[in-house]
Structure 1
Amino acid sequence: MASHAAHKRWLKFSALVIGFFGPALTLGTIPATNELARLGLDILTWPVDGFPSYASEEIRFLSALTGGFLVGWGVTIWLLSSWVYDAAPEAVRRSVLYGALAWFFVDSFGSITSGHWPNALWNVLVLLLIIGPMWRPANPTSFNQEGIHS
């Protein structure tokens, strides 16, 4: 069973995994810097065939929205690990777990119904990276009487 400190470190890792995609997608809004976002989306919609092209204004706009949401989600998890986790580790763990599961099911459902089922497979990997050892509560022996990490 993971310790309190391991969960706190994993929350920061999760924040970085989630947040990484935000700037990449936001750069997709600029034609001169959209190759990383375009290639990423091409891989997620397997096979790699040059589609989508990132040429439409609509896809660039959705990339901007998605990039912003992902940066915000990553920052939120980082701050929860820094400011709240020590006071309420189980509440933070469950919040991140349920949030990640909600993303996973909605994103995967939408990917499948839009004809891009390979993305649902990628989502399994990303979900595992986000959650890691946080599937289970932290080891309660990693706290002393006052709830402070020992």
Structure 2
Amino acid sequence: MVSFSFWQKWLLAVSGIIIFFGLVIALLSWSPVFVVFNTLVNGTFWPGTGPDESIQRFTLWAYGMLGATMAGWGLTLAFIVNGPFGKKEKWSRDAIAAGVVLWFVIDTFMSVYTGAYFNVGVNVLVLVLAGLPLLMTLKEFK
């Protein structure tokens, strides 16, 4: 049987991944590091032509806001996981689960609606990575 501590550390690692990717998106979306992601986005929304300069500036700004939000959300998650979740305070598990579900439903709906199907796979992966420790520790919060 895997211990509560293992799942808490797992969820803390997920928080770290979210922070890391948020910072990468916010600070490096213009760089060669982002070429695959930008190719997927550009091919979905501007097939053949690519975005013009004003759209590129808007996209850079939007990625900055998205990345900052992700990094902030990941940091908040890390504090909750390291504190009240670790003390098995039920509200912390409920807050994490509600936030993850709300994010997943809206983000995935918008990804499907706009044809950004590549993002649906990423969403499912994050849902599994964040949801698994919540499910595996469910009995600890009764």
TM-score in terms of structure 2 length: 0.77
**Equivalent residue for 2:105?**
105
Q: Give the partner amino acid of 1:39.
A: V
| 1:126 aligns to 2:126 (yes or no) | yes
**Equivalent residue for 1:73?**
73
After TM superposition, the structure 1 stretch with the greater mean CA deviation from structure 2, 68-77 or 92-101, is 92-101
CA shift at 1:136, angstroms? 4.1
Alpha-carbon RMSD: 3.0
Q: C-alpha distance in 2, partners of 1:139/1:2? A: 13
Q: Where in structure 2 are there 5+ consecutive unaligned residues?
A: none
SS in 1 for 2:137: coil
CA shift at 1:120, angstroms? 1.2
SS in 1 for 2:125: helix
Q: Where in structure 1 are there 5+ consecutive unaligned residues?
A: 141-150
CA shift at 1:2, angstroms? 4.8
**Equivalent residue for 2:18?**
18
- Seen in structure 2, the aligned counterparts of structure 1 residues 60 and 50 have a Cα distance that, compared at 3 Å, is farther
- Seen in structure 2, the aligned counterparts of structure 1 residues 129 and 71 have a Cα distance that, compared at 3 Å, is same
SS in 2 for 1:87: coil
Query: In the alignment, is the contact (CA less than 8 A) between 1:2 and 1:133 conserved in 2?
Result: no
Q: Give the partner amino acid of 2:123.
A: N
Q: Give the partner amino acid of 2:74.
A: G
Q: C-alpha distance in 2, partners of 1:2/1:84? A: 20
SS in 2 for 1:79: helix
| Larger helix fraction of residues | 2
**Equivalent residue for 1:35?**
32
SS in 2 for 1:71: helix
CA shift at 1:93, angstroms? 2.0
TM-score in terms of structure 1 length: 0.73
The count of aligned residue pairs is: 137
**Equivalent residue for 1:92?**
92
Query: In the alignment, is the contact (CA less than 8 A) between 2:7 and 2:136 conserved in 1?
Result: no
After TM superposition, the structure 1 stretch with the greater mean CA deviation from structure 2, 4-13 or 57-66, is 4-13
Q: C-alpha distance in 2, partners of 1:59/1:67? A: 12
Query: In the alignment, is the contact (CA less than 8 A) between 1:22 and 1:70 conserved in 2?
Result: yes
Q: C-alpha distance in 1, partners of 2:87/2:5? A: 13
